[in-house]
Amino acid sequence: MTLHPILETERTWFRPFVESDLPLLIEQRSDPEVNRYLGGTRMQNPEALTKRIQFYISCVEKFGFGMCPMFLKETDEMIGTAGLQPLIDTDDIEVGYSLVKAQWGKGLGTEVAIGWMNFGFTEKGLERIVAVANVDNAASRHIMEKIGMKFEKNDLHYDEECAFYSISKNEFFRINGEL
């Protein structure tokens, strides 16, 4: 499997996960403030993340996209994860993003969400992309709304009550312009 970048944005780049990324992923997601809206330690523990990283790897192999480690171009430091992946128990593809606390509030969530959605629509021919966030995760919901996603419903995903948002390819480009 190639380790060349799948995607680059202005300040970040992404490559597929490899198993040797697991210790850093566990470390980053063990921060209670980071995992608070990612299912907490119930979903962000070494055993669960060992299974999850295999899902991330298999998505890239199967679809050519998946959740990937996010690296800051300036330092090549892994600062979180982002990507596209199938939303469990649906036919939808979701965009997701998670940053280490030191990178919060810098606009990176918006930047990488737009980058991955553009990739999905232009490179992978997707017609619709969804996003879900814990109903109390105001920061993530703000990103979804900022990039033009529309609230559809509250629903159970990842064993918690989530706000479900979506956007079509045409609506994405109408709002964000051709990228």
Residue 85's CATH number: 3.40.630.30
Q: Is 173 in contact with 121 (CB distance < 8 Å)?
A: yes
Residue 148 lies in a domain: yes
pTM to 2 decimals? Answer: 0.91
Residue 1 lies in a domain: no
Residue 2 lies in a domain: no
pLDDT in tens, 100-159: 999 999 999 999 999 999 999 999 999 999 999 989 899 999 999 999 999 999 998 877
Length of the chain: 179
* Spatial distance between the Cα atoms of 17 and 2, rounded to a whole number of angstroms: 10
Would you place residue 74 in the very low, low, confident or very high pLDDT band (cuts 50, 70, 90)?
A: very high
pLDDT at 58 over 70: yes
Q: Count H helices, E strands: the chain?
A: 7, 8
- How many domains does the chain divide into? 1
Residue 131 lies in a domain: yes
Consecutive H or E run containing 118: helix 108-122
**Closest by Cα among 167, 129, 162, 160 to 146:** 167
**Structural domain for 73, as ranges:** 7-176
Residue 58 lies in a domain: yes
Residue 48 lies in a domain: yes
Beta bridge partners of 20: none
Cβ neighbours for 176, distance < 8 A, ≥ 6 positions apart: 114, 118, 147, 148
pLDDT in tens, 19-56: 999 998 888 887 767 666 665 456 667 888 899 899 99
Per-residue model confidence (pLDDT) at position 30: 74
